[in-house]
Chain A
């Protein structure tokens, strides 16, 4: 069975400083991995996805993530945080067969300090 662990439930950074949200996954085969963002009282929006092409994946709003198979990690980064980045972030792994169910991490709440 696949699983995802987000290593921090809450991350707080100052505006203009780098962001790092950590994610480790478990999968018996090469996975599809996603990061979604949820702003307060909103639905989920795709930030980026990894699907076995380039290991460094660029997403929207300046976010990127690097797939590291040896470390089973898919950490999300951004060079410079903006106030609008304050939100909940979910790392997600997908089955590649059957109904391709998505398995979510517990989420990381990102707070940006002025």
Chain B
């Protein structure tokens, strides 16, 4: 298995509370990504990072922020959780070299009640 770990694996939180999901890698890969998976939508990109402190928005970034202060950690924060953010969240990592595949974490199932 690629060295990528997501925490927590499951979380239930209340509407309006902040939530932080963590992605940790041991591969020293440059690129890191956060996706959300919803039925009928495949995986959609929330935010991504191309280096320490270098991040950018994906296609569904509203209501989310990220930080990457170390190569190995990429944090996703829901600033004020809403029911529409109930989803499964996946972190992925990828080497800088072209044409390489991405490796995915096991996912975090988040329920906002």
A-side residues, CB < 8 A to B, are 6, 9, 32, 34, 36, 42-44, 46, 49, 51-52, 90, 94, 96, 98-107
Given A44-B90, A107-B42, answer yes or no on A100-B31 (Cβ-Cβ < 8 Å). yes
Query: Is B99 within 8 A of A101, CB to CB?
Result: no
Q: What are 26 residue pairs bridging A and B, where the CB atoms are less than 8 Å apart in the complex?
A: A9-B40, A32-B98, A43-B107, A49-B99, A51-B99, A52-B99, A90-B42, A90-B43, A96-B98, A96-B99, A98-B50, A99-B31, A99-B48, A99-B49, A100-B31, A100-B94, A100-B98, A102-B33, A102-B43, A102-B45, A103-B45, A104-B35, A104-B43, A106-B41, A106-B42, A107-B42
B4-48: which residues lie under 8 A (CB-CB) from chain A? Answer: 31, 33, 35, 40-45, 48
Q: Can you name the residue of chain A whose Cβ is closest to the Cβ of B43?
A: A104
Given A43-B107, A100-B31, answer yes or no on A106-B40 (Cβ-Cβ < 8 Å). yes
Q: Count residues on chain B whose CB falls below 8 Å from chain A CBs.
A: 25
Given A90-B43, A104-B42, answer yes or no on A99-B56 (Cβ-Cβ < 8 Å). yes
Closest 7 CB pairs of A and B: A51-B99, A104-B42, A44-B104, A104-B43, A99-B50, A43-B106, A106-B42
Chain A hits for B104, CB < 8 A: 36, 43-44
Cα distance A46–B94 in the bound complex, in angstroms = 13
Cα distance A71–B68 in the bound complex, in angstroms = 40
Cα distance A100–B99 in the bound complex, in angstroms = 9
Chain A hits for B107, CB < 8 A: 43
Instruction: Answer yes or no: B92 CB below 8 A from chain A CBs.
Output: yes
Chain A hits for B113, CB < 8 A: none
**In-complex Cβ contact of B48 among A42, A44, A49, A101 (8 A):** A101
Nearest-Cβ distance from residue A26 to partner chain B, whole angstroms: 15
Nearest-Cβ distance from residue B87 to partner chain A, whole angstroms: 14
Query: Is A32 within 8 A of B99, CB to CB?
Result: yes
B91-107: which residues lie under 8 A (CB-CB) from chain A? Answer: 92, 94, 98-99, 101-102, 104-107
